[in-house]
Amino acid sequence: MTAKDRARLAAERLKALYPAVSELEHADPFQMLIATILSAQTTDRSVNSVTPTLFARYPDPAALAHANPAEVEAIIKPTGFFHVKAKTIIGASAALLERFNGEVPSRIEDLVTLPGVGRKTANVVLGVAFGIPGFAVDTHVKRLTRRLGLTKSTDPVKIEAEVTKMLPPEEWTGFSLRLILHGRRICLARTPRCPECVLNDFCPSSTVRARGGRRPLTATTTGVRLAHGRRTARKRPRRPGTRH
Protein backbone atom coordinates (compact mmCIF):
# COMPACT_ATOMS: atom_id res chain seq x y z
CA MET A 1 0.00 0.00 0.00
CA THR A 2 1.40 3.40 -0.97
CA ALA A 3 1.47 6.45 1.27
CA LYS A 4 -1.22 8.01 -0.91
CA ASP A 5 -3.43 4.94 -0.42
CA ARG A 6 -2.93 5.13 3.36
CA ALA A 7 -3.78 8.84 3.38
CA ARG A 8 -6.97 8.23 1.41
CA LEU A 9 -8.00 5.30 3.58
CA ALA A 10 -7.23 7.15 6.83
CA ALA A 11 -9.26 10.15 5.66
CA GLU A 12 -12.19 7.88 4.81
CA ARG A 13 -12.13 5.99 8.09
CA LEU A 14 -11.69 9.04 10.32
CA LYS A 15 -14.51 10.85 8.54
CA ALA A 16 -16.90 8.21 9.87
CA LEU A 17 -15.72 8.82 13.45
CA TYR A 18 -15.14 12.53 13.90
CA PRO A 19 -16.70 15.80 12.73
CA ALA A 20 -14.47 18.27 10.92
CA VAL A 21 -14.53 20.80 13.76
CA SER A 22 -12.18 22.57 16.08
CA GLU A 23 -12.77 22.19 19.81
CA LEU A 24 -11.91 25.85 20.31
CA GLU A 25 -15.09 27.81 21.03
CA HIS A 26 -15.51 30.87 18.82
CA ALA A 27 -18.18 33.03 17.19
CA ASP A 28 -16.27 34.66 14.31
CA PRO A 29 -12.87 34.68 12.54
CA PHE A 30 -11.42 37.16 15.04
CA GLN A 31 -12.27 34.96 18.01
CA MET A 32 -10.95 31.90 16.16
CA LEU A 33 -7.68 33.69 15.47
CA ILE A 34 -7.17 34.80 19.08
CA ALA A 35 -8.22 31.42 20.51
CA THR A 36 -5.81 29.58 18.21
CA ILE A 37 -2.92 31.83 19.25
CA LEU A 38 -3.78 31.20 22.91
CA SER A 39 -3.90 27.42 22.33
CA ALA A 40 -0.12 27.17 21.93
CA GLN A 41 1.41 24.94 24.63
CA THR A 42 -1.93 24.33 26.34
CA THR A 43 -5.24 22.52 25.92
CA ASP A 44 -8.36 23.71 24.12
CA ARG A 45 -10.25 23.27 27.39
CA SER A 46 -7.92 25.74 29.06
CA VAL A 47 -8.45 28.26 26.26
CA ASN A 48 -12.22 27.79 26.35
CA SER A 49 -12.18 28.54 30.06
CA VAL A 50 -10.83 32.06 29.52
CA THR A 51 -12.12 33.24 26.13
CA PRO A 52 -15.72 34.00 27.24
CA THR A 53 -14.37 36.58 29.70
CA LEU A 54 -11.75 37.81 27.26
CA PHE A 55 -14.19 38.36 24.39
CA ALA A 56 -16.87 39.85 26.62
CA ARG A 57 -14.40 42.56 27.63
CA TYR A 58 -12.61 42.84 24.28
CA PRO A 59 -15.12 41.87 21.55
CA ASP A 60 -13.19 43.11 18.52
CA PRO A 61 -9.67 44.02 17.33
CA ALA A 62 -10.11 47.70 18.23
CA ALA A 63 -10.90 46.89 21.85
CA LEU A 64 -8.12 44.32 22.27
CA ALA A 65 -5.54 46.46 20.47
CA HIS A 66 -5.95 49.19 23.10
CA ALA A 67 -6.26 46.86 26.10
CA ASN A 68 -4.18 47.14 29.25
CA PRO A 69 -1.67 44.27 28.98
CA ALA A 70 -1.86 43.55 32.72
CA GLU A 71 -5.63 43.09 32.52
CA VAL A 72 -5.31 40.76 29.52
CA GLU A 73 -2.61 38.77 31.32
CA ALA A 74 -4.85 38.31 34.35
CA ILE A 75 -7.63 36.88 32.16
CA ILE A 76 -5.51 34.50 30.09
CA LYS A 77 -3.15 33.38 32.87
CA PRO A 78 -4.57 29.80 33.00
CA THR A 79 -3.36 29.20 29.40
CA GLY A 80 0.30 29.59 30.42
CA PHE A 81 2.99 31.87 28.95
CA PHE A 82 0.51 34.67 29.58
CA HIS A 83 3.02 37.54 29.37
CA VAL A 84 4.04 36.58 25.82
CA LYS A 85 0.52 35.60 24.77
CA ALA A 86 -0.99 38.88 25.98
CA LYS A 87 1.60 40.86 24.03
CA THR A 88 1.01 38.68 20.98
CA ILE A 89 -2.79 38.91 20.83
CA ILE A 90 -2.70 42.66 21.50
CA GLY A 91 -0.12 43.04 18.74
CA ALA A 92 -2.11 40.87 16.32
CA SER A 93 -5.22 42.97 17.00
CA ALA A 94 -3.28 46.17 16.37
CA ALA A 95 -1.94 44.75 13.09
CA LEU A 96 -5.49 43.88 12.00
CA LEU A 97 -6.50 47.50 12.58
CA GLU A 98 -3.47 48.99 10.88
CA ARG A 99 -3.26 46.76 7.82
CA PHE A 100 -6.61 45.04 7.32
CA ASN A 101 -9.24 47.55 8.51
CA GLY A 102 -9.95 45.45 11.59
CA GLU A 103 -10.89 42.37 9.55
CA VAL A 104 -9.18 38.97 9.71
CA PRO A 105 -7.72 38.36 6.23
CA SER A 106 -8.69 35.21 4.37
CA ARG A 107 -5.34 34.65 2.63
CA ILE A 108 -2.55 32.66 4.21
CA GLU A 109 0.01 35.12 2.84
CA ASP A 110 -1.62 37.88 4.89
CA LEU A 111 -2.37 35.84 8.00
CA VAL A 112 1.25 34.79 8.53
CA THR A 113 2.31 38.46 8.69
CA LEU A 114 0.40 38.87 11.96
CA PRO A 115 2.26 38.52 15.29
CA GLY A 116 2.08 34.97 16.62
CA VAL A 117 0.62 33.51 13.44
CA GLY A 118 2.51 30.76 11.61
CA ARG A 119 1.26 28.41 8.95
CA LYS A 120 -0.41 26.09 11.49
CA THR A 121 -2.51 28.88 13.03
CA ALA A 122 -3.22 30.37 9.61
CA ASN A 123 -4.42 27.05 8.20
CA VAL A 124 -6.69 26.47 11.21
CA VAL A 125 -8.26 29.91 10.79
CA LEU A 126 -8.67 29.46 7.04
CA GLY A 127 -10.26 26.05 7.32
CA VAL A 128 -12.47 26.58 10.38
CA ALA A 129 -13.44 30.25 10.11
CA PHE A 130 -13.55 30.67 6.33
CA GLY A 131 -14.04 27.18 4.92
CA ILE A 132 -10.90 27.58 2.80
CA PRO A 133 -8.81 24.39 2.44
CA GLY A 134 -5.82 24.32 4.74
CA PHE A 135 -3.81 21.52 6.33
CA ALA A 136 -2.74 22.54 9.84
CA VAL A 137 0.22 20.62 11.28
CA ASP A 138 0.33 20.58 15.07
CA THR A 139 2.05 18.07 17.35
CA HIS A 140 -0.73 15.51 16.89
CA VAL A 141 -0.73 15.78 13.10
CA LYS A 142 3.05 15.58 13.04
CA ARG A 143 2.98 12.39 15.13
CA LEU A 144 0.14 10.66 13.28
CA THR A 145 1.35 11.41 9.75
CA ARG A 146 4.70 9.85 10.65
CA ARG A 147 3.12 6.82 12.33
CA LEU A 148 0.89 6.30 9.31
CA GLY A 149 3.90 6.45 7.00
CA LEU A 150 2.63 9.50 5.13
CA THR A 151 5.91 11.35 5.71
CA LYS A 152 9.32 10.91 7.27
CA SER A 153 9.77 14.61 7.92
CA THR A 154 9.48 16.44 11.23
CA ASP A 155 9.25 19.83 9.50
CA PRO A 156 5.62 21.06 9.58
CA VAL A 157 5.99 22.90 6.27
CA LYS A 158 7.31 19.77 4.52
CA ILE A 159 4.62 17.60 6.12
CA GLU A 160 1.93 19.99 4.90
CA ALA A 161 3.37 19.98 1.38
CA GLU A 162 3.67 16.18 1.23
CA VAL A 163 0.27 15.28 2.66
CA THR A 164 -1.68 17.84 0.63
CA LYS A 165 -0.33 16.21 -2.53
CA MET A 166 -2.04 12.95 -1.51
CA LEU A 167 -5.56 14.29 -1.02
CA PRO A 168 -7.89 16.68 -2.88
CA PRO A 169 -8.09 20.20 -1.37
CA GLU A 170 -11.62 19.66 -0.06
CA GLU A 171 -10.23 16.95 2.27
CA TRP A 172 -7.34 18.96 3.74
CA THR A 173 -9.10 20.78 6.57
CA GLY A 174 -11.23 17.84 7.66
CA PHE A 175 -8.33 15.39 7.63
CA SER A 176 -6.16 17.68 9.71
CA LEU A 177 -8.88 18.34 12.30
CA ARG A 178 -9.74 14.64 12.52
CA LEU A 179 -6.10 13.64 12.95
CA ILE A 180 -5.92 16.07 15.88
CA LEU A 181 -9.01 14.55 17.51
CA HIS A 182 -7.77 11.00 16.86
CA GLY A 183 -4.38 11.90 18.31
CA ARG A 184 -6.01 13.19 21.49
CA ARG A 185 -8.32 10.23 22.00
CA ILE A 186 -6.74 7.11 20.48
CA CYS A 187 -3.27 7.58 18.96
CA LEU A 188 -1.73 8.97 22.13
CA ALA A 189 1.91 10.04 22.20
CA ARG A 190 3.22 7.60 24.83
CA THR A 191 0.68 4.79 24.86
CA PRO A 192 -1.27 4.62 21.59
CA ARG A 193 -4.47 2.60 21.94
CA CYS A 194 -3.85 0.46 18.84
CA PRO A 195 -6.43 -2.26 19.68
CA GLU A 196 -9.15 0.39 19.58
CA CYS A 197 -7.91 2.17 16.45
CA VAL A 198 -9.91 2.05 13.24
CA LEU A 199 -6.66 2.38 11.30
CA ASN A 200 -4.89 -0.58 12.92
CA ASP A 201 -5.20 -2.92 9.94
CA PHE A 202 -2.99 -0.81 7.68
CA CYS A 203 -1.06 1.57 9.93
CA PRO A 204 2.66 0.65 9.71
CA SER A 205 3.12 1.55 13.39
CA SER A 206 0.22 -0.47 14.75
CA THR A 207 1.07 -3.01 17.43
CA VAL A 208 -1.96 -5.14 16.51
CA ARG A 209 -3.91 -6.18 13.46
CA ALA A 210 -7.68 -6.36 13.22
CA ARG A 211 -9.22 -9.82 12.95
CA GLY A 212 -10.13 -10.93 9.48
CA GLY A 213 -7.39 -8.90 7.83
CA ARG A 214 -7.83 -5.54 6.15
CA ARG A 215 -11.22 -3.87 6.35
CA PRO A 216 -12.88 -2.53 3.19
CA LEU A 217 -12.12 0.99 1.96
CA THR A 218 -15.50 2.50 2.78
CA ALA A 219 -15.95 2.98 6.52
CA THR A 220 -19.67 3.73 6.39
CA THR A 221 -20.98 0.35 5.27
CA THR A 222 -24.71 -0.20 5.81
CA GLY A 223 -25.43 -2.18 8.95
CA VAL A 224 -22.09 -1.38 10.54
CA ARG A 225 -21.72 0.52 13.78
CA LEU A 226 -18.56 2.33 14.84
CA ALA A 227 -17.57 2.23 18.50
CA HIS A 228 -14.19 3.39 19.79
CA GLY A 229 -12.67 2.98 16.38
CA ARG A 230 -13.82 -0.62 16.01
CA ARG A 231 -16.52 -1.81 13.63
CA THR A 232 -19.03 -4.49 14.55
CA ALA A 233 -21.24 -6.05 11.93
CA ARG A 234 -24.90 -6.57 12.64
CA LYS A 235 -25.83 -10.25 12.94
CA ARG A 236 -28.11 -11.76 10.33
CA PRO A 237 -31.50 -12.93 11.66
CA ARG A 238 -31.82 -16.73 11.87
CA ARG A 239 -34.35 -18.27 9.51
CA PRO A 240 -37.21 -20.27 11.09
CA GLY A 241 -36.51 -24.00 11.32
CA THR A 242 -32.71 -23.68 11.22
CA ARG A 243 -30.53 -25.12 13.93
CA HIS A 244 -28.44 -23.04 16.33
Is it the case that residue 225 has pLDDT exceeding 50?
no
For residue range 174-208, what is the model confidence (pLDDT) as tens digits? 999 999 999 999 999 999 999 999 999 999 999 98
Inter-residue contact 144 to 178 (CB < 8 Å): no
Mean pLDDT calculated for residue range 105-132: 96
**pLDDT in the model for residue 224:** 27
Report how far residue 135's alpha carbon sits from residue 141's, in angstroms, rounded to the nearest whole number: 9
Strand 230-233 with 224-227, pairing: antiparallel
- Cα 49–chain centre separation: 19
Residue 1's SS3 state is coil
Q: Give strand ranges (E) for the chain.
A: 224-227, 230-233
Query: What is the per-residue pLDDT across 208-218, written as a single tens digit (0 to 9) for each?
Result: 875 545 554 44
- Least-confidence region, from 27-36, 120-129, 174-183, 212-221: 212-221
Instruction: Map out the domains of the chain with their CATH numbers.
Output: 29-130 (1.10.340.30)
Collapsing DSSP to helix, strand or coil, 230 comes out as strand
Q: How confident is the model at residue 21 (pLDDT cuts 50, 70, 90)?
A: confident
User: Considering the entire predicted model, what is its pTM?
Assistant: 0.80
Alpha-carbon distances of 21 from 14, 95, 178, 194, rounded to whole Å = 13, 27, 8, 24
Quick one: which of 227, 134, 144 has its CA closest to 184? 144
Residue 85 parent element (H or E): helix 82-100
Residue range 59-89, pLDDT digits in tens: 999 999 999 999 999 999 999 999 999 999 9
Catalytically annotated residues = 120, 138
